Structure formats: structure tokens, C-alpha cells
Chains A and B, each alone.
Chain A
Amino acid sequence: MAARREALVARARILDEVRAYFRSQDFLEVETPSRVRNPGQELHLDAFYAEGGRYLITSPEHHMKRLVGAGYDRVFQVCRCFRQNEEGPHHQPEFTMAEWYRARAPLSSIADDCEALLVRAAAVSGRPFDGECVRTTVAALLATHAGVELQGDEDLPALERRVRTAGHDPRGARTFDELFFQIFLDHVEPALAQGPPTFVCDWPAPLAALARVRPGTPWAERFELYAGGLELANAFGELTDAVEQRRRFEAEAEERHRRDKVAYNVDERLLAGLATMPETSGVALGIDRLVMWALGASQIADVVAFPDPEV
């Protein structure tokens, strides 16, 4: 328990630093509901049912965006999120997320925020870190580490051809994202784990999620931050096109039905909010993992007061 006490003290100080940073940047701290009707339609996230037609949030994304749509330009929140079937050294069904949005700001400003938070967290733990992060693209990483030349607008058969050309076995992947992440995990992640913190930018359009696709390109304005073998944050140049967002929600719902998963109604309140939302960049950053990175911990259980099995 001695090691855990140290971790909990560091964790509390890192949370202080996170809040201090956002205050220094003129953000408003907000709280949004944990029990919601639309916990997010992403295919690979499974929400816990919470009675009354509500689900526990998998992230506070929808309500945060409704606030931005209502004119709150800089909002942040530190909250608990809940995801079924996620358990492992880097996953717990209940975890802590920092999520923030900057209206009228480019995605690079979110990367700057992330860098500032890494610097502050490292200072708390004494981890040597000079703030230097690499900014690169998905395509560059796949080319360098897997020999796969990604164009960004592939469908599954086209990606399969590129993967085979590079000498890899698609191993029966059924969807674009399955095959993409297989290559990413096998070849890119191990390399990222060895290097400095890295912003992995410009994701192929099929993996845009809630990000906008940069006009005239097949690339989504999305980045993930990897540090010390951990995936710390996932950021979007937010999609504000309600028509396109409705199309994506419906496609995800259909795929969820096909896989016998619960599909949620389209979140009409969010779509209404998008209509009044200015150009915005936003991100979710895992606090447990930020603490792990700062302390060099190898599992979430080392940085929380009560790891899931002890609850």
C-alpha cells in the first residue's frame, strides 16, 4: 500500500495541475449528466444500462458539445466514464476522463494543451520530460513501420490489397477498422512505445468517428496521443455538419444491429446543438493513464484507490 499511497498523492496533485492549467487558459469547468439516453453510438463501445431508458456515459462528449453549441466556448470536465467489457492492465470498466473543447480554435491548439498537461504531470512526479512531442501522421507511421502505403480513402478490399502487398496476412479481418488496427497494433504501437510522446494525426476517413474530414482530402482531423506505450488522448476537429453526423450515427446503429448490440436512437438534441456550434476542436484524455505515464506505472490498478477487483 505504500507504493499506492505515493501514487494517490501524485494523482491528486496531477488533478490539481490539470484544473490549474485550464483555469489559466480561461476555461469553465462544467459537469454534465452521467446517466444519459444516448451514451454514444460508436461500434466498439458498450455502455452499462442504468434504468429508466438511461445508460452510463462512455464519455461526456454529447453533452459537452451541446454546451459548446449553446455558446460556451471553452469548457472542460473531469469525470468518470463507464465501459462494459474493458478490463486489462490499461483498462478498467470505470475510469476518469478529462474532456475539453475550444471553440474557434484549430486542432493544433488541443495538441498544445496536451503537451502542457504532460509537462505539468511530469513535473509532479519528477519524470524527466522536456515537453518535446513528435507530431506525425497515420500514413507516415504505417509506411515506416509496416510498409503499408495508405491513401486514406480505401475500402476494406483496397486496404487488404495494400496489406498483402506489404507482406502481411489480413487474417480474415471483416471490417476496415479491424484490419487497420491489426496492422497498427502489430507494427506501429510497439515502435511508438519506444519513442517520445507522439501525436498521431490525420486518420483515414473511415475512422473519422466524430471528427470532420478535411475538405478535398481523405483524412479526418483527428489525432491520438501516444506516450510510453499508452494511448492517452483522442482529439477531433469536431464535425459540425448535422446531416453528415446523422448519416454516421445511422450507419453505426445499423452495424450495431447487425452485431446484435444495443443501438441507440439518433441523439436529436446533439444534432440540434451541432447546428449552432462554431468550428471547434475537442479531446478526451485519460487521467488514469496520464498518472501512469507520469509515474511510470505499468497498470491502472497501481494508480487508483480501489482497482476494479477490490471494489
Chain B
Amino acid sequence: MAQMYDTSEIRKGLKIMMDGNPYTVVEFQFVKPGKGTAFTRTKMKNLLTGSVLERNLRSGERLEAADVEVKNMQYLYDEGEFCVFMDNTNYEQVQITNDLVGDDKGFMPMNISVDVLFFQGRAVGVTLPNFIEQEIVETEPGARGDTATNVTKAAKLASGATVKVPLFINQGDVVRVDTRTGEYLDRVGRA
């Protein structure tokens, strides 16, 4: 019998099963219709597909805990359809398909440490550190004197993703990027 949660235990990050799929709670809010029973309006993200589900959970509704485990692992290499990760404590390796890694792949340089998510013992996804530093490998040449404007240009990171950067950023610059939003934050140096 899996562990069960009560609606009063709902909190951000709680991993629960819903309609046979594992979800993580991203938002919740107390609601109570006039003279009626209380509900918890819950927004959750499917751990396998990333799609978001909204559900009004009745007070007292029982929720099954998702059999989810998180393990810190090192990203070894790209094997075409898969990314390969290694547990540095026992050197065990796992593969995750590109579909499940999703857009995160472009922000995932080789050797970076990431949290690998296991559902029912199977690796199903990764959570990157919130910030990474990456070298710009491709962008139009910089234009001087434009630092005060909000004009941006596309730039390709060594890890593969394309981000919008200010005009003064050049090829070879190392920039800091928020992996949750894909946004450029600042320039941290030269490669």
C-alpha cells in the first residue's frame, strides 16, 4: 500500500499520483464555496510529460504518494537519442530519452551535476541547477554603446541552447543563465 496524503498535507513540491500519473504540486490555495465543504485548488505538473493539471481537491480527499526518488548524478554524454548520467557514488549509469529531458538539454553542459528523477525505479527526468554559466559559441559581433537599451540578439551557448543576450555580448563571453526561464542574467567573464 502506497503512502497516502490528506489534502491538509498538500504543499509545494509534494509528489502525488493523479489518474495514474505522477505529479508535483506547483501551487495550491484554500477555497470554500458558500455553506459548502472546503477545497484545495491545486495546480500540479506531470512529472513524465511536464503538462500542467488543475484540480479542485475536496477537503478530506486522499492522495496517493508518487513513488518518486531524486538522485544527484553527473551528465556524462549525449548518445543521440539518450542522455547518459552516472551516479558518482557507485558509478551506476542510467539513460534518459531526449523527449523526457526536453528543453533542459540545451542548458546541460557535459559533466554538470543534476538531480535525476526516478519514478518506480525508472529515470524519467532531470532538474537542473537554477543557474548555469556557459560560453557563447555563436552570436553576431557586439555593438558598442548599446548597453543601456533593451535591444537583444540571439546567442548560442556551448551547451546548445539559444538565448537572448544584450548587444555588447560577444562570442567567447561566459554568461550566467537562469535555467528555469532560459533568461540571460549577466556576463561573468571571458572563456
| Chains A and B form a bound pair | yes
Query: Which A residues fall within an 8 A CB radius of B?
Result: 42-45, 85-91, 171-175, 177-178, 180-182, 184-186, 189, 207, 209, 224, 231, 234
Chain B contact residues: over half helix, strand or loop, or mixed? loop
Q: In the complex where A171-B58, A172-B61 touch, is A178 in contact with B32 (Cβ < 8 A)?
A: no
With a cutoff of 8 Å between Cβ atoms, the chain A residues found around residue B33 in the complex are 181, 184-185, 189, 231
Tell whether, in the assembled complex, residue B34 and residue A86 are in contact, meaning their CB atoms are under 8 Å apart: no
A173 to B58, CA, bound (A): 8
Minimum CB distance partner of A181 in chain B: B36
Chain B residues whose CB sits within 8 angstroms of the CB of A224 once the complex forms: 34
Whole-angstrom CA separation of A37 from B76 in the bound complex: 70
B16-73, CB < 8 A from A: 29-39, 41, 56, 58, 60-61
CB pair B56–A185 under 8 Å, yes or no, is: yes
Partner of B32, one of A43, A91, A171: A91
With contacts A171-B61, A182-B56, A185-B56 known, is A44 near B31, CB below 8 A? no
In the bound complex, CA of A184 to CA of B56 (Å): 10
How far, in angstroms, from A86 to B60 measured CA to CA in the complex? Answer: 15
Query: Which B residues are within 8 Å of any A CB, using their own CB?
Result: 29-39, 41, 56, 58, 60-61
Query: What are 10 A-to-B residue pairs whose CB atoms are below 8 Å?
Result: A42-B35, A44-B32, A45-B35, A85-B38, A86-B38, A88-B31, A173-B58, A177-B37, A178-B58, A185-B56
B56 near A231 (CB under 8 angstroms)?
no
Distance, CA A236 to CA B34, complexed state (A): 12
| A86–B32 alpha-carbon span in the complex (Å) | 8
B5 to chain A, nearest CB (A): 15
Residues of B within 8 A of A178 (CB): 36-37, 58
Task: Tell me the complex Cα distance, A171–B31, Å.
Answer: 18
Taking each of A42, A90, A178, A224, which has the highest tally of chain B beta carbons within 10 Å of its own beta carbon?
Answer: A178
Q: Are B38 and A44 in contact (CB under 8 A)?
A: yes
Cross-interface CB contact of B35 among A171, A175, A186, A207, cutoff 8 Å: A207
Question: With a CB–CB cut-off of 8 A, which chain B residues contact A185?
Answer: 31, 33, 39, 41, 56
A45 CA / B35 CA spacing, docked (Å): 7
